Amino acid sequence: MSAYDLIVIGTGPGGYVCAIRASQLGMKVGVVEKRATHGGTCLNVGCIPSKAMLHASERYDEAQHSLGAMGIAVETELDLQKMMAFKDEGVKGNVDGVAFLLRKNKIEHFHGTGRIVGPGKVAVTFINGETQEIDAKHVVIATGSAPAQLPGIEIDEKSIVSSTGALSLAQVPKRLLVVGAGIIGLELGSVWRRLGAEVTVVEFLDHILPGLDGEVARQMQKILTKQGLKFKLGHKVTGIDASGGGHKVAVEPAAGGAQETVEADVVLIAIGRVPYTAGLGLAEAGVALDNRGRVIVDEHFQTSVAGIYAIGDVIAGPMLAHKAEDEGMALAEILAGQAGHVNYDVIPNVVYTFPEVASVGKAEDELKAAGIAYKAGKFPFTANGRAKANQTTDGFVKILADAKTDRVLGVHIVAANASEMIAEAAVLMEFGGSAEDLARTCHAHPTLTEAVKEAALAVDRRAIHF
């Protein structure tokens, strides 16, 4: 008899959700977490602190540049320490919340590093060096990911930082160089630009936001450039010389050519994340990894070893908290004999810059490449009443629907509140809804969501306000 039905290694959004759902379904569950607090990357050094800093820096920027136009005169002064304390308080509220939920669901917590030492056996090395072996019927690897590194460049988390260091800088750098124009680079670049840094973003590809709809990415580049971010696309960073104060960053065209030097006080390496499996004993346990170091799983999240499962950033798929959560939930239900399932075609993706970018489903470029006939309906926020009243008219909604069936295949929103607006598109797509369904749904006036309805009308060339 195993002491536990389920042991989950890692309590990020994948692991803690899996543990809670399994407990709800009557399993005896334990979690192993080496970090001092629960919530993983997302709550401690990812989604939550970055959104707190985006929120606070946006208010600062607003106070400096937008409130005056509304007749609100304010003098601003940045207290970075206090802003960091605001961020830390948000993190604490969240990680304490997860600890409470684990206790409430009677989930036992082992605070240490987990290693799989055999089928159904996890050895935990506690902080004081002692070890304990735990038996479980099922073991879940939910160990997440870590920042990818550039060869030859050492991250000190002070002046050469990953996202973790960039969320806790002691002062606003005069010049910040961001390597990588993906979501994390642009979000954190936006934060420090708003707080006063000169921000240059170096990107290997010839466009920002790789993986997103091309039209969205081009629009965002224009908007972020207007906000003061400088882009060096089609370039790569090949080295950093830190001798003699400041950093001399060697930058070269990606296609080859003359090297130049860009000076920066802080360099943020934001070139992506890699699965984290160090120290888990996967090779010895026979758990297979793919050529990118991700744990290989089948459609039931089972690894190459029976009884060992994996979810979240450590397996293939978008590295997103809600994808990890949904996998955690589905796995717990599968283990309880239910039909747990994740619909990978409907996973929203959000960039929390200003305006925000939110998308779900296929990008226009993807549909073209796949030869799928589609109709596109687009509606700009310059024609939306609420956006005009708020003077937040940057952006648009684009709906892509199947040319024959009208089924919605993709929705892309650039808007002040896009992260919240995308949910209706996700629900519609889960139900296989059409552009007509959206167009016939009554949307409250005046709201930004009316632009979604108008874009749905525009699929059939019958938008009213544009």
116 or 448: whose CB is closer to ligand FAD?
116
Strands across the sheet containing 247-253: 235-241, 247-253, 260-264
Pattern 333-362, binding to ligand FAD, x per CB under 6 A?
-------------------x----------
Contact residue for ligand FAD among 4, 5, 13, 309 (CB under 6 A): 13
SS3 readout for the chain: CCCEEEEEECCCHHHHHHHHHHHHCCCCEEEEECCCCCCHHHHHHCHHHHHHHHHHHHHHHHHHHCHHHHCCCCCCCCCHHHHHHHHHHHHHHHHHHHHHHHHHCCCEEEEEEEEEEECCEEEEEECCCCEEEEEEEEEEECCCEEECCCCCCCCCCCCEECHHHHCCCCCCCCEEEEECCCHHHHHHHHHHHHCCCEEEEEECCCCCCCCCCHHHHHHHHHHHHHCCCEEEECEEEEEEECCCCCEEEEEEECCCCCCEEEEECEEEECCCEEECCCCCCHHHHCCCECCCCCECCCCCCECCCCCEEECHHHCCCCCCHHHHHHHHHHHHHHHCCCCCCCCCCCCCEEECCCCEEEEEECCHHHHHHHCCCEEEEEEEHHHCHHHHHHCCCCCEEEEEEECCCCEEEEEEEEECCHHHHHHHHHHHHHCCCEHHHHHCCCCCCCCCCHHHHHHHHHHCCCCCCC
Contact set for ligand FAD, span 42-71 (CB under 6 A): 42, 46-47, 50
Contact residue for ligand FAD among 32, 98, 217, 458 (CB under 6 A): 32
| Residue 322 annotated as catalytic | no
Contact residue for ligand FAD among 35, 137, 375, 465 (CB under 6 A): 35
Contact set for ligand FAD, span 197-256 (CB under 6 A): none
Residue nearest to ligand FAD (CB): 144
Site for ligand FAD (CB under 6 A): how many residues? 36
Does 276 interact with ligand FAD (rule: CB under 6 A)? Answer: yes
Q: Which stretch binds ligand FAD (CB under 6 A): 41-49, 82-90, 239-247, 429-437?
A: 41-49
Contact set for ligand FAD, span 317-336 (CB under 6 A): 319-322, 324
Phi-psi region of 111 (alpha: psi -120 to 50; beta: other; left: phi over 0): beta
40 or 395: whose CB is closer to ligand FAD?
40
Closest distance of CB 352 from ligand FAD, Å: 6
Closest distance of CB 280 from ligand FAD, Å: 5
Contact set for ligand FAD, span 99-158 (CB under 6 A): 113-114, 142-145
125 or 227: whose CB is closer to ligand FAD?
125
Q: Backbone phi, then psi, for 136, in 5-degree steps?
A: -150, 150
Closest distance of CB 232 from ligand FAD, Å: 22
147 or 380: whose CB is closer to ligand FAD?
147
Does 15 interact with ligand FAD (rule: CB under 6 A)? Answer: yes
CA distance 433 to 412: 16
114 or 377: whose CB is closer to ligand FAD?
114
56 or 435: whose CB is closer to ligand FAD?
56
Closest distance of CB 112 from ligand FAD, Å: 7
34 or 138: whose CB is closer to ligand FAD?
34
Does 309 interact with ligand FAD (rule: CB under 6 A)? Answer: no
Contact residue for ligand FAD among 9, 197, 224, 387 (CB under 6 A): 9
Contact residue for ligand FAD among 10, 180, 377, 380 (CB under 6 A): 10
Query: What residues are annotated to the active site?
Result: 445
Residues that bind ligand FAD (CB under 6 A): 9-15, 32-35, 40-42, 46-47, 50, 113-114, 142-145, 163, 184, 276, 279-280, 312-313, 319-322, 324, 352
